[in-house]
Chains A and B, each alone.
Chain A
């Protein structure tokens, strides 16, 4: 029973009170009441979401845009799968690059076997594709033929008519020249002829459009065959890259080659015929040693994947958020404690708070560019690149100024809420502080900050939300590897999956934002002493 209430408390604190009846039902508490609650607040919403998905699937295919068809849920799922597959392959490549000795040889054999298999499959699929192409062509021809013949006949007919009109106008021109007819008659004839030509062309265009439409109609079996070939060819490509990474591009192989080369140079000392050759050999040896050293510490540089983007975005938003907290809360406390300081800060807050994140981004781009001219030698970047997890994310100036932009925009809610929390200190608690004769520091730590904590955390939660929204925009503009850049790149590159990838990113961003918000809610609930529930 103890556990039950612990679970219920946990759900309540984390803002998942909607699952309360599920837990109660599991413990057999008033089953009817719980089932009714589950029906109302879990099943109905789930059905609603499913209806939304169904609506999307129904409406989306009816709408085509420049970047392809509006994606339905299946396409978005496919996009998610492909992004996951890419990430998985990069992970395998990273491991392959570092394989050594027997392990490497064993894997190589496996990969080669897989390649052989794949080649067979691809060939088979290519043959199938060819058949489908033929089938497509024949059915297309069958569809086009009647229209085409109609078009050809009509075209020939109109050409004849056009030629007749040309001859007629020529004849009339001769008559006008001979002053047998008024020139206005010729003009009228020409006008009429032009109008005729225009009408005939329009008629032909209709047929032409019909033809184009038929040609652009998708032939499902062919599409399927093509995408099968594409995905298998892609897999084959990946296997071939693996093979390379296990052989010529493998680290241990490269090191072994370099060592051999070094041995060769070392041997050349004995056969050297002159002083200069000895010197050259020594220089070569030094260079070779350096290169071996470099090779040994080399790592495979994987392509940026969705998981890297997520990690970088989350890291950047946390750094920016912490910067905002470090600056915002002390300033807020000062504002709340001292009316003069508050009066000084008010204009600054009022003017800088509404400034767009884009402006801050550009400002920080300039500032960061000026102060961290060389990321390879700047102490901040060097320090960051030595922290284990951060190292894999790759800290660069783009990340720094994205984080600064987040901090600048997330600063205000924390600052204002902290100031408000400190300001609205209960006069009774002030009296307690006076009666207990607390000194300034004790007042601050024992009375002022604890009593302001719920409002401070409410501010932090808003800050985190603002920060996450600002970050995505900042990454899109600054090209800092992250979810924002992922969306931007998809928009720029344009593939058949562009739209679906953007929608996929939309869900990823939303879900991570939701998780961040929930973490903040839990923190807020833990520090709040008046049992007020946080809004969802």
Chain B
């Protein structure tokens, strides 16, 4: 077994003032091997985006450490490429310029023709070449997400952090880009951490699925290993027994999480004092007589 490459050790993070603090994430332990594809699955609001911010170095934990190859992540670094949920392309730049800006920053050695070729290669990789000179406003959601993917890939990071990359897309485009990501990953292996709320997506793409429990104080639960051979075929995978079983297990686990939270919430019942309103329609003097 390979040693772990990206690691989170006892990471906790909270928000708010110290007398009214909400712990979003508590005691997170994660260990991702090199070239592994990990999917973190959870309900919305569980703290998934916070988790990916921690991994990307955009946020620092209150407690614990995030390390890559044994080095503590203190700030965003070119080793970590993050792809945001809502594209985050710069709307005043064309697709080419968006990617070029990222490449110039990440790979400052590329100049002139090499730079242009590099950008064009990645744009071609996500099949966006015809839209090279278009601005994000002129693109569809799927095309924007492709552009965003190309930007992240073009920076050639060691780790790809995908923050719900496909959740804003329609089902057809979604499947399309899933295939695209898998194809690229298989050709050019690297470590991937993907956040998602879609069980099928996680099963289809990942080597390992780790559920995130419901916040506050969310933490990572025990992983499910997805032992389905690659390349996975979308049509065939639906009839695969392992796939079916895992799908059931993960879904049940998540539903269980949800029920548990509901139960734990239901317990918190404030006992109300038994008070009757004063009846003002009757004269007060009567009350005195009683």
Residues of A within 8 A of B (CB): 428-429, 431-432, 434-438, 446-447, 450-451, 453, 529-531
Contact = CB atoms under 8 A, between A and B. Distances in A.
B218 interface: no
B92 interface: yes
Contacts of A531: 137
B56 interface: yes
Contacts of B77: 437
A431 B90 contact: no
B82 interface: yes
Interface in B58-114: 58, 75-78, 81-82, 84, 86, 88, 90-93, 101-102, 105-106
B137 A436 contact: no
A451 B88 CA distance: 12
B137 A451 contact: no
Interface in B124-138: 135, 137
Interface of B is mostly: loop
Nearest to B161: A435
Given A434-B76, A437-B76, A529 B91 contact: yes
A169 B81 CA distance: 120
A434 B105 CA distance: 11
B109 to A, nearest CB: 15
B78 A437 contact: yes
Contacts of A529: 91-92, 135, 137
A428 B84 CA distance: 8
Contacts of B137: 529-531
B90 A450 contact: yes
B23 to A, nearest CB: 23
A435 B76 contact: yes
Nearest to A442: B105
Contacts of A437: 75-78, 105
B52 to A, nearest CB: 11
Contacts of B90: 429, 432, 446-447, 450-451
Contacts of B92: 450-451, 453, 529
B122 to A, nearest CB: 15
Contacts of B56: 435
Contact of A428 (B75, B78, B86, B101): B86
A435 B82 contact: yes
A530 B58 contact: no
19 contacts: A428-B84, A428-B88, A429-B90, A431-B58, A431-B88, A432-B90, A434-B58, A435-B58, A435-B81, A437-B75, A437-B78, A437-B105, A438-B105, A446-B101, A447-B90, A450-B92, A451-B91, A530-B91, A531-B137
Contacts of A436: 101-102, 105-106
A438 B104 CA distance: 10
A11 to B, nearest CB: 20
Contacts of A451: 90-92
Which of B75, B82, B86, B88 has the largest number of chain A CB atoms within 10 A?
A: B88
B155 to A, nearest CB: 8
Contacts of B135: 529
B118 to A, nearest CB: 16
B78 A429 contact: no
Nearest to B91: A529
Contacts of B84: 428, 431-432
Interface string B118-162: 000000000000000001010000000000000000000000000
A437 B137 CA distance: 25
A435 B76 CA distance: 5
B13 to A, nearest CB: 17
A377 B78 CA distance: 60
Contact of B88 (A429, A438, A453, A530): A429
A345 to B, nearest CB: 27
A436 B56 CA distance: 11
Nearest to B85: A428
Contacts of A435: 56, 58, 76, 81-82
B231 to A, nearest CB: 30
Contacts of B58: 431, 434-435
A453 B84 CA distance: 24
Contacts of B86: 428
Which of B82, B86, B90, B93 has the largest number of chain A CB atoms within 10 A?
A: B90
Contacts of B101: 436, 446
B158 to A, nearest CB: 14
Contact of A432 (B75, B78, B88, B106): B88
A190 to B, nearest CB: 86
Contacts of A438: 105
Nearest to A528: B92
Contacts of B78: 437
Contacts of A450: 90, 92-93
B141 to A, nearest CB: 15
Which of B91, B93, B106 has the largest number of chain A CB atoms within 10 A?
A: B91
A436 B86 CA distance: 17
Nearest to A426: B88
Nearest to B98: A432
Nearest to B93: A450
B95 to A, nearest CB: 13
Given A435-B58, A450-B93, A451-B90, 12 more contacts: A428-B84, A431-B84, A431-B88, A432-B88, A434-B58, A434-B75, A437-B75, A437-B78, A446-B90, A446-B101, A447-B90, A453-B92
Nearest to A447: B90
B89 to A, nearest CB: 8
Nearest to A449: B92
